[in-house]
Each structure stands twice: as C-alpha cells, then as structure tokens.
C-alpha cells in the first residue's frame, strides 16, 4: 500500500511539473493549480487514502506528499513569473512608438486677433482695479433700452436697428445692459468692465457686421468727474496704441451726459475709436443709486475697430472667415 501510494505521488509530481512547464497562459496555469493543489485536486485525493494506513506508514507518506506539494507550488510560481514577464514584454512591444517614423504635422494654434485685443484690454482694466462682468446675449427691452434712459418713444431708438425675437426679447445691441444688471446687484463704489458679443441690423460690408464685439467700462463712486474719465481713457489708449495724440469731441448717447467721442491720431489722421460720457442721473436712479451722492462715467469701443487699426486690416469680414492664410500672420 505504501509503495503504491508513494509511486502515485512521484508520478503526480512528474506529470504536474511537465504540464505546468507547458502552460502558455496565466489562465491555464490557474487551472493546473486548482487541478493539482486545490481542495478537490489530485494531490488531495491521494492523501485522503492515508486514512487506511498504519501509524508507522503515515509520516513517511506525509513527508513525500509535502515534498510533492512544495515542488508543484515552486513550479507554479516560477511559471507564473515567466508568463507575467512575457505578458509585460508583449505589451511593451505593442505600445512602443517608432521614433524614426515621420510624425503627423499639426499646426500650432495662435490667438485670434479679436481674442488678443480682448485679452489685452481686460488685462489693462483689471490692472486699474476693474472687475470683469458678463451678461446674457438675449436681453429684455428693459435692460437693453429702458434702464439706459431710452424709453419706447425715445428718438435714440432709431439709432439702433435691433434684432427682436418672437417672445418680445431681443439680441443685445451693446454690453451696457451688463452694467445695469451689475449695478442692481452691487452697491457703490464699483468699477466694472464688460466684454461680449453684440448684434445690430447692419448691412455687412468692409467696415460693418451684424455681429461684433464690444468692451464697455463703468465706474461709480463719490466725486468722480469728467477729468477722471479722460485720465482713464488716456491711460488705456496709450497702453494699447502708444503715446499718440488724443482728442475728445462732444457727442450724444442717451445714457450719458455730457457725452463725447474719442479720436486718436493714427498715421497722420484722426480716427474715432471710442465713445464715453458721465452716467446720466436717470440711469443711476433706475438702479437705486442716489445721483446727489454718486457720479460715474462709462466708455466703450468696438473690438473689431481696434483690431483693424492695430493690424491694418482692410475688411472686417476677414476676422470671421477662418482663413488660415490670414490668421497665421498673427
């Protein structure tokens, strides 16, 4: 009985080691472990017959069984390490890049000239203590007109042909509506700059577009004067264009009084670049500010206008055409 069981154990070890060495996957290796060393495996089945042996025979067979188990476990561990290493090597070879192959050309992106102007302007105003504010492009008549001292029967409405929507709302004609919304939420003193897209029913040509961009600034505080407005605009324009002559011409806007147009001497001629003025007391009252205590000034400009002047662009439509031959110049 003893010699027969001993022969079976040794044969099991030989068979197991051969099968383990031939295993090509980790899944197959796990199957062999269960088959030979699992609770219901072949080694366990042989050892259950030890109950029929005498007390003298059991230690000898037990020692042989432990040797067989350790040998099989060692073979399993070694084959697992070898298979895992081979698996990693296959993965490395599959994921390795051939650096000698030609790459796929991807042109480097550049900042669009409109975004460049917006970024520069906001950097300047933020450096002067202004907060950037945003607002909806679809506006109500109240925020776009009435709160800005432009009631329905006001003649200034004829100055802005507007895109009206079926629900009575409209596409904003300026970013001044952002200033009203901001003033309703905040108490003076305030200094805010509002960039954004605006819409007007203009016929598209070399200098006009139905969709364009504005940046407007607003300051409200005690004791602000037109001199403060002129100083702010001068600092801003010199930061953008350099130290060039600037002049202010009397003008009209429904939400500022007095109002002015700002001209810049560029290449020997005067160019209109901005509109500005002191905030009309009626606008201050509409948001609950006391015009006897607070004064303010506002100014705004078209981003496209600045881009065309700075970069000597002859047609505003070039800014929207997404022509890489044009954009790669910037």
The enclosing domain of 126 has a CATH number of: 3.30.930.10
Q: Which tokens go with 294?
A: 């607070």
pLDDT for 329: 86
Long-range contacts of the stretch 304-310 (C-beta < 8 A, 24+):
304/114, 304/209, 304/212, 304/213, 305/273, 306/117, 306/121, 306/240, 306/273, 307/113, 307/114, 307/116, 307/117, 308/207, 309/241, 309/264, 309/266, 309/271, 309/273, 310/117, 310/240, 310/241
Using 50, 70 and 90 to split pLDDT, how confident is the model at 283? very high
* Shared domain check, 45 and 142: no
pLDDT for 214: 97
pLDDT for 6: 76
Q: Which tokens go with 187?
A: 């108490």
DSSP 164: B
| pLDDT tens sequence across 82-91 | 888 888 888 8
Residue 105 lies in a domain: no
Chosen domain end from 62, 95, 128: 95
152 pLDDT more than 60:
yes
Higher pLDDT, 175 or 108: 175
Find, among 271, 121, 106, 88, the residue nearest to 194 by Cα: 121
Residues 260 and 276: beta-carbon distance below 8 Å: yes
pLDDT for 46: 72
Q: Is 186 annotated as a binding residue?
A: no
* Shared domain check, 268 and 127: yes
140 pLDDT more than 60:
yes
pLDDT for 26: 85
Using 50, 70 and 90 to split pLDDT, how confident is the model at 103? confident
Spatial CB neighbours of 31, under 8 Å, sequence gap ≥ 6 = none
| pLDDT tens sequence across 25-77 | 888 888 888 887 777 777 777 777 666 666 677 777 778 778 878 888 888 88
* Mean pLDDT on 95-101: 78
Please, how many CA atoms are within 13 Å of residue 7, restricted to the half-sphere of its CB?
4
* Shared domain check, 56 and 119: no
Residue 122 lies in a domain: yes
Residue 242 lies in a domain: yes
Separation CA 200–CA 206 (nearest Å)? 16
* Shared domain check, 125 and 87: no
pLDDT for 2: 54
Higher pLDDT, 232 or 97: 232
Q: Which range marks the domain in which residue 183 is found?
A: 113-327
* Shared domain check, 225 and 123: yes
Chosen domain end from 67, 95, 123: 95
Mean pLDDT of the chain: 88
* Mean pLDDT on 243-254: 94
pLDDT for 50: 67
Residue 102 lies in a domain: no
pLDDT for 35: 83
Other Cβ atoms within 10 Å of 54 Cβ, number? 8
Residue 106 lies in a domain: no
pLDDT for 159: 61
pLDDT for 167: 92
* Shared domain check, 141 and 71: no
* Mean pLDDT on 311-330: 89
Residue 34 lies in a domain: yes
What total number of domains does the chain contain? 2
pLDDT for 52: 67
* Shared domain check, 87 and 6: yes
Chosen domain end from 95, 121, 153: 95
Q: Write b or e for each residue in 127-166: b if 16 or more Cβ atoms lie within 10 A of its Cβ, otherwise e.
A: eeebeebebeeebbbebbbebbbbeeeeeeeeebebeeee
pLDDT for 324: 85
Separation CA 215–CA 300 (nearest Å)? 6
* Shared domain check, 231 and 204: yes
| pLDDT tens sequence across 219-234 | 999 999 999 999 999 9
For 220-229, 290-299, 316-325, which range has the lowest pLDDT when averaged over its residues? Answer: 316-325
* Shared domain check, 241 and 214: yes
Please, how many CA atoms are within 13 Å of residue 65, restricted to the half-sphere of its CB?
20
pLDDT for 155: 73
Higher pLDDT, 121 or 15: 121
* Shared domain check, 289 and 210: yes
* Shared domain check, 140 and 89: no
Higher pLDDT, 82 or 108: 82
Residue 104 lies in a domain: no
Residue 309 lies in a domain: yes
pLDDT for 83: 86
* Shared domain check, 142 and 82: no
């Amino acid at each position: 009985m003893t010699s027969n069981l001993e022969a079976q154990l040794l044969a099991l070890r030989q068979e197991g080691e051969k099968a383990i060495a031939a295993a090509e996957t980790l899944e197959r290796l796990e199957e062999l472990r269960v088959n030979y060393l699992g609770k219901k495996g072949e080694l366990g089945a042989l050892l259950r017959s030890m109950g029929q042996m005498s007390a003298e025979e059991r230690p000898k067979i037990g020692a042989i069984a432990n040797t067989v188990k350790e040998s099989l476990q060692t073979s399993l561990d070694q084959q697992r390490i070898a298979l895992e290493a081979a698996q990693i090597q296959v993965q490395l070879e599959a994921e390795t890049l051939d650096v000698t192959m030609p790459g796929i050309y991807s042109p480097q992106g550049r900042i669009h000239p409109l975004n460049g102007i917006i970024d520069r302007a906001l950097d300047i105003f933020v450096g002067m203590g202004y907060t950037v504010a945003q607002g909806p492009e679809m506006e109500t008549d109240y925020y776009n007109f009435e709160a800005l001292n432009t009631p329905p029967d006001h003649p200034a409405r004829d100055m802005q042909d507007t895109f009206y929507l079926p629900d009575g709302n409209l596409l904003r004609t300026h970013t001044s509506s952002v200033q009203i919304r901001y003033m309703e939420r905040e108490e003076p003193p305030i200094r805010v700059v509002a960039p954004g897209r605006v819409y007007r029913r203009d016929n598209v040509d070399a200098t006009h577009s139905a969709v364009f961009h504005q940046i407007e600034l607003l300051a409200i505080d005690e004791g602000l004067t037109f001199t403060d407005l002129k100083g702010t605009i001068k600092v801003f324009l010199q930061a953008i264009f350099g130290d060039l002559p600037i002049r202010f011409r009397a003008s009209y806007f429904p939400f500022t009084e007095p109002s002015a147009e700002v001209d810049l001497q560029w290449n020997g001629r005067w160019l209109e670049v901005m509109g500005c003025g002191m905030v009309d007391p009626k606008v201050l009252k509409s948001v609950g500010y006391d015009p006897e205590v607070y004064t303010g000034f506002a100014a705004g400009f078209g981003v496209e206008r600045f881009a065309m002047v700075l970069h000597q662009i002859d047609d505003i439509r070039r800014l929207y055409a997404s022509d890489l031959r044009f954009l790669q110049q910037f």
